[in-house]
Amino acid sequence: MISIAELSVDFGGVRPIDGLTVDLDAMVHGVIGPNGAGKTTLLNVVSGFTPPSGGSIVIDSIDVFELSADQRARWGMRRTFQTEQLVDRLSVFDNVLVMAETSLPRPARHDASMAAIEFVGLPSASVAAGSLNSLERRLAELARALVGGPKVVLMDEPASGLVGHETEQFGALVQRIPVELGAQVVLVEHDLDLVSTVCERVAVLDFGRLLAQGPTATVLAEPAVRAAWLGEALT
């Protein structure tokens, strides 16, 4: 469980996170909200890329702000990014190995990288990332986030660019993460079909604040949530 209390982030007068209090208490928890709501900033603060200006985040009794980003990674915090991170000229294996190097001792890296590639179902570790199709690229990005005993996996729009059946396949994989790897997933996503399918609960951000939280179907039906999306996903 990720307990966020009174969290704020300041970028010189802009407050992308503004006194946010929420418990992310499901093993696959959605975080949704309009463009600019603060979703990526939240993942950046949890993972240690962006410093908070106030508040706290506690995960499994650990005060996250006492750990550096590297320490969080070694503890088991993983994330994917909204922009692609794959290096096309490197093999799938080397793309995953780079992440293993940040979080695992050397002797464990090879097997952990292969296990992550196998988990996501990529058929070959040796092909260049540049030769992968769009779904395979998303799977490779996910493998990078799953290498070596993740405890919390933060995903920033991991299914963007995928079409219907690809999104379904990706969603099925996301649902296996808590069951088979024991890690909690926080899914930031604009695709509400995917959110509805894989997230037991969802938090809605708007202007850096919590607009709603609860079981996904209930939250998506709330008038205030639908209003925040006027002109966006629900129209």
Ligand X SMILES: Nc1ncnc2c1ncn2[C@@H]1O[C@H](COP(=O)(O)OP(=O)(O)OP(=O)(O)O)[C@@H](O)[C@H]1O
Q: List contacts with ligand X (CB under 6 A).
A: 11, 14, 16, 33, 35-41, 82
Looking at the Cβ atoms of 75 and 207, the one nearer to Mg ion is: 207
Looking at the Cβ atoms of 34 and 148, the one nearer to Mg ion is: 34
CB 31 within 8 A of CB 187: yes
The CA-atom distances, in angstroms, between 233 and each of 31, 89, 135, 166, 228 are 14, 35, 22, 19, 10
Tokens (6 digits) for 46: 């949890």
Looking at the Cβ atoms of 74 and 190, the one nearer to Mg ion is: 190
Residue 76's binding partner among ligand X, Mg ion, none (Cβ under 5 to 8 angstroms by kind) is none
The CA-atom distances, in angstroms, between 217 and each of 1, 61, 108, 206 are 21, 29, 41, 18
Question: Rounded to whole angstroms, how far apart are CA atoms 234 and 118?
Answer: 36
Residue 19's binding partner among ligand X, Mg ion, none (Cβ under 5 to 8 angstroms by kind) is none
Q: Which residues contact 24 (CB under 8 A, 6 or more apart)?
A: 1, 2, 3, 4, 31, 184, 186, 203
Q: How far is the CB of 213 from ligand X (least distance, A)?
A: 16
Q: How far is the CB of 38 from ligand X (least distance, A)?
A: 4
Tokens (6 digits) for 16: 């992308």
Q: How far is the CB of 73 from Mg ion (least distance, A)?
A: 20
Rg (CA), the chain: 17
Q: How far is the CB of 192 from Mg ion (least distance, A)?
A: 15
Residue 8's binding partner among ligand X, Mg ion, none (Cβ under 5 to 8 angstroms by kind) is none
Q: How far is the CB of 13 from Mg ion (least distance, A)?
A: 20
Residue 148's binding partner among Mg ion, ligand X, none (Cβ under 5 to 8 angstroms by kind) is none
Looking at the Cβ atoms of 35 and 126, the one nearer to ligand X is: 35
Residue 14's binding partner among ligand X, Mg ion, none (Cβ under 5 to 8 angstroms by kind) is ligand X
Q: How far is the CB of 116 from Mg ion (least distance, A)?
A: 24
Looking at the Cβ atoms of 33 and 76, the one nearer to ligand X is: 33
CB 225 within 8 A of CB 211: yes
Among 48, 115, 98, which residue's Cα sits nearest to residue 75?
48
CB 230 within 8 A of CB 224: no
40 binds Mg ion (CB under 5 A): yes
Looking at the Cβ atoms of 8 and 169, the one nearer to ligand X is: 8
